[in-house]
Structure 1
Amino acid sequence: MSYSPIILEETTPPADVLEGVVVVVVVVKVAAAAVVVVKVEVLVVVVLVVVFVVEVVLVVVVEVVVVIVVVVVAAAAAAVVVVVVVVSATAAIVVTAAAVVVKV
């Protein structure tokens, strides 16, 4: 029986295979970076939407408060006018009654 020696040769993959591996690694890294950028952009959009909603809510609340204040001030002014009218009418009645009493 004869044995033939096994000769192990050192082989390197062809250059096009190495280039393909490099391209795949670069594409994966670019895709990962793009995912991070998209996540950041989505986060920025969410923050902007929240800020916009809060701003709108605050504007509406401020406008409602202003309307309430205006209505309260107008009601107070109307109350003052009513008091002035009542006092004036009372004064007119008193003056008229005094004039009648003086004539009698």
Structure 2
Amino acid sequence: MLTVLVVVLVVIIIIIIIIIIVVVVVVVVVVVVVVVVVVVVVVEEGIAWFIVVEVSLEVVMIVVVTVVIFSVLTKVTNKNEQ
């Protein structure tokens, strides 16, 4: 019975880790795409820099949120392991 519980816990933790990795990869890809698009638009059109600042602030917010979620999830999984 205990081994079944351990196996289930390990599987759940692995799934959570995979989800976290996927989320982080998606966020990184989105950030890179946004930065590239913004740079291209600014170079091509000479659009005001405050737009760039705003977009970069949004990107920073997204990164911070994902890092916080990541740390919370890792703390939760660590508590479950103990």
- Which category describes the TM-score, using the shorter chain as reference length? 0.5 to 0.7
**How far 1:102 sits from its partner (Å)?**
1.5
When you count helix as a share of all residues, which structure comes out higher? 2
Give the distance between the partners of 1:61 and 1:97, measured in 2 at CA.
54
**Partner residue of 2:80?**
none
Larger radius of gyration: 1
Of 1, 18, 34, 1:91 maps to 34
Aligned-pair Cα RMSD in Å: 0.7
**Partner residue of 2:4?**
61
Give the distance between the partners of 1:63 and 1:84, measured in 2 at CA.
31
Give the distance between the partners of 2:6 and 2:39, measured in 1 at CA.
49
**Partner residue of 1:101?**
44
Structure 1 length normalisation: TM-score?
0.43
1:99 is paired with a residue of what secondary structure? helix
Q: C-alpha offsets along residues 53-89 of structure 1, whole Å, 9 cap, x if unaligned?
A: xxxxx10010011000000011001000000000000
Unaligned runs of 5+ in 2: 47-82
**Partner residue of 2:63?**
none
Of 4, 11, 17, 1:74 maps to 17
Instruction: Between the two structures, name the one with larger relative contact order (CA 8 Å, sep ≥ 6).
Output: 2
Structure 2 length normalisation: TM-score?
0.54
Give the distance between the partners of 1:93 and 1:99, measured in 2 at CA.
10
**How far 1:100 sits from its partner (Å)?**
1.0
